[in-house]
Amino acid sequence: MTTATIQSVSGPVVKAERHGPLSVGEAVSVGPMRLLGEVVRVSAGHCTIQVYEETTGLRFGDAIEGSGLPLSVKLGPGLLGNIFDGLLRPLRDGGDAVHYRVKPLVEPGATVTAGQRIAEIEGLAKAQFALAPQNLSDAELIWIETGEVTESDPIARVKTDDGQEREIGLVQHWPVREPRPVRRRLAPNKMMVTGQRILDSLFPVARGGRAAIPGGFGTGKTVLQETLAKWCDADVIVYVGCGERGNEMAEVLHEFPELEDPRTGRPLMQRTVVIANTSNMPVAAREASIYTGVTVGEYFRDMGFNVTLMADSTSRWAEALREVSGRLGELPSESGYPAYLSSRLSEFYERAARVETLSGQKASLTLIGAVSPPAGDFSEPVTSHTKRYVRCFWGLDRGRAQARFYPAIHPLQSYSEDAANLAAWWTKRGNPNWRAWRERLLVLLEEQANLERMARIVGKDALPPGQQVKLLCADLVGNAFLRQSAFSEVDRYCSPERQMAMLGAIIQFFDMAEEAVAQGVSPDDIASAEFYRRMSRMSEEIGEGELEKFQDLLGQMEREMAALERSGADAV
Ligand SMILES: Nc1ncnc2c1ncn2[C@@H]1O[C@H](COP(=O)(O)OP(=O)(O)OP(=O)(O)O)[C@@H](O)[C@H]1O
């Protein structure tokens, strides 16, 4: 039934005369091509719609039909391993209908409730679960499939309280802008291990946490996100590419399917869903894509998985928001972005959480958004508003990137509010000193900035030995610990145990070096000792599975330091 007729079209924005009821947020089909749109404004006799597909060819007077439902996406077992557009329509031909093998987890006669895992879907690269619909209250299971089904077949039938029978399928439709319900939120006190030392040891993110990676052009956002996708200990990765340029997105689409999951040796795509939007795809679909991504993330979280979503980049998403807002004739706010930029960012980041699912599992959705501020200026609106909603801020620094110091995360421009909750996690993992060691490193790095400034003015040799040794310690932290190449066979992943051993060695070095300098040893002599050279290279020379070599290194340090102290004393 025609609910409205087109009066004007401007890019993705369609204004129409309304003949029937339409509500804001309702999905509509527009014109003879039945393009997908969403109502964004309703007034007496009129409505405004943003269209998610190319609007070329729409004409004055074309019909618009309301659906009565909010903009939703189809969630099902075919998501993992595939590539979709911003509205979750497959970008690759799915081929013939896939058959899934279903193994029931409940028996006829049992009571089934909303969100419950009722069957395991077997035969996929990664086992998944069929969930009871979210709007089902206690119902009796009458029948459940035990063989093979396609996405369109029912897998179970239930009898609800009012005696009605209802079929449950493999597929669910869910409105993208609405968070999926959970039983309760849990404290974010488990760390998401990334294998990147500067993150796990200095600026850790909790499972269910929110992090931003702001960085100017070429500072390493994409490499860092790819490294995280490969190495973080998530069960499922959702990658939302709001591509800057078509060819960059094409690279991602080409590269991602070829990446290997280093733990299993299988293609990384088997645990990944890619949602892609290039700048030449309709701008409104880009705006919707991050909500689509979060909805997919929540769907896998509800199955009981730990999910990590990466959005690259939220700046391009904000530009889409700005473009659509401009066409809607809204009053622009900072830098032309609409006044609701901030609330939209919060709607996105607020959906990160560690939860107990309706089915009773502990699961999480962690959100990591890259931001590409123009000219690397972190005070621009997208970065500054993002900062209000994330708990971890991993600021990439152009100077570090130019010096090829990777990852180019600047320790003085970054922070983690999750760190306070994660000391207990590190203690359980065998490092009760983590909090104290971390603080010591951060204080040292802060001091380093001041001392370097002073050294530039008066010359390094004019600094007192106590300050020179601090600079030596800070250099060691930079070269041996913070620097970590994503392309090094030995060092691209650093387990928490190896991080702990390295940090322990560094802290021991601090203590011994300070003591030695107090005894009259010159910092230059420490810097030229053989053990110091070995320490500076320990990240490359001591790999995973060789942790006993740290003992050997510490032994050498003790011997050489003692010798330096003795020769210092002899000289006196
Ligand atoms: N962790 C890393 N280890 C080693 N090299 C790195 C690392 N991060 C970045 N690089 C180097 O820096 C280059 C640029 O990185 P990348 O493409 O990720 O930057 P970007 O910020 O995504 O750029 P753009 O703004 O164009 O999207 C890479 O090709 C790589 O050579």
What are the pLDDT tens digits along the chain (572 aa)?
A: 778 999 999 988 999 999 989 999 999 999 999 999 999 999 999 999 999 888 999 999 999 999 999 999 999 988 998 888 888 988 876 666 788 899 999 999 999 999 999 999 987 777 899 999 988 888 899 999 998 998 889 999 999 888 889 999 999 999 999 999 999 999 999 999 999 999 999 999 999 999 999 999 889 998 898 889 888 999 999 999 886 565 666 666 777 777 777 777 788 888 899 998 866 678 888 888 999 999 999 999 999 999 999 998 899 899 989 988 988 888 888 889 999 999 999 999 999 999 999 999 999 999 999 999 988 889 999 999 999 999 999 999 999 999 999 999 999 999 999 999 999 999 999 899 999 999 999 999 999 989 998 888 888 888 888 899 999 999 999 999 999 999 998 999 999 999 999 999 999 999 999 999 998 899 999 999 999 999 999 999 999 989 999 999 999 999 999 998 887 666 54
Q: How many whole angstroms separate alpha carbon 89 and alpha carbon 539?
A: 44
Instruction: Give the pLDDT of residue 256.
Output: 72
| Closest of 88, 85, 57, 63 to residue 75, by C-alpha | 88
Instruction: Give the pLDDT of residue 279.
Output: 63
Name the closest-CA residue to atom 26, ligand 1.
218
* Contacting residues for 57 by C-beta, under 8 A, at least 6 apart: 31, 33
Which atom of ligand 1 is nearest to 217's Cα?
25
Q: How many whole angstroms separate alpha carbon 5 and alpha carbon 47?
A: 10
Single-letter code of the amino acid located at 242: C
User: Can you name the residues that pair with 26 across neighbouring β-strands?
Assistant: 70
Owner of token pair 């500072």: 219
Token digits of residue 91: 């970008």
Centroid of ligand 1 to alpha carbon of 221 (angstroms):
6
Single-letter code of the amino acid located at 394: W
Q: How many whole angstroms separate alpha carbon 543 and alpha carbon 248?
A: 33
Token digits of residue 507: 């802290």
Q: How many whole angstroms separate alpha carbon 54 and alpha carbon 156?
A: 39
Contact indicator for 313, 290 with CB cutoff of 8 Å: no
Contact indicator for 39, 67 with CB cutoff of 8 Å: no
Site to substitute for ligand 1 among 198, 219, 223, most atoms within 8 A of C-beta: 223
Instruction: Give the pLDDT of residue 11.
Output: 87
Name the closest-CA residue to atom 11, ligand 1.
220
Pocket of ligand 1 (CB under 6 A): 215, 217-224, 372, 406-407, 485-487
Instruction: Give the pLDDT of residue 331.
Output: 87
Annotated binding site for ATP: 215-222
Instruction: Give the pLDDT of residue 268.
Output: 81
Owner of token pair 């609007």: 55
Token digits of residue 530: 């053989």
Q: Is 193 helix (H, G, I), strand (E, B) or coil?
A: coil
Centroid of ligand 1 to alpha carbon of 35 (angstroms):
38
Site to substitute for ligand 1 among 222, 244, 492, most atoms within 8 A of C-beta: 222
| Closest of 386, 394, 439 to residue 415, by C-alpha | 394
Token digits of residue 462: 């004019």
Instruction: Give the pLDDT of residue 244.
Output: 57
Q: Is 311 helix (H, G, I), strand (E, B) or coil?
A: strand
Instruction: Give the pLDDT of residue 74.
Output: 93
Centroid of ligand 1 to alpha carbon of 49 (angstroms):
39
Contact indicator for 228, 241 with CB cutoff of 8 Å: no
Centroid of ligand 1 to alpha carbon of 404 (angstroms):
10
Which atom of ligand 1 is nearest to 215's Cα?
21
Instruction: Give the pLDDT of residue 90.
Output: 86
Name the closest-CA residue to atom 23, ligand 1.
218
Does pTM top 0.90 for this prediction?
Answer: yes
Contact indicator for 548, 501 with CB cutoff of 8 Å: no
Annotated binding site: 215-222
Contact indicator for 400, 408 with CB cutoff of 8 Å: yes
| Closest of 143, 310, 281, 149 to residue 222, by C-alpha | 310
Contact indicator for 196, 232 with CB cutoff of 8 Å: no
Rg (CA), the chain: 28
Which atom of ligand 1 is nearest to 486's Cα?
3
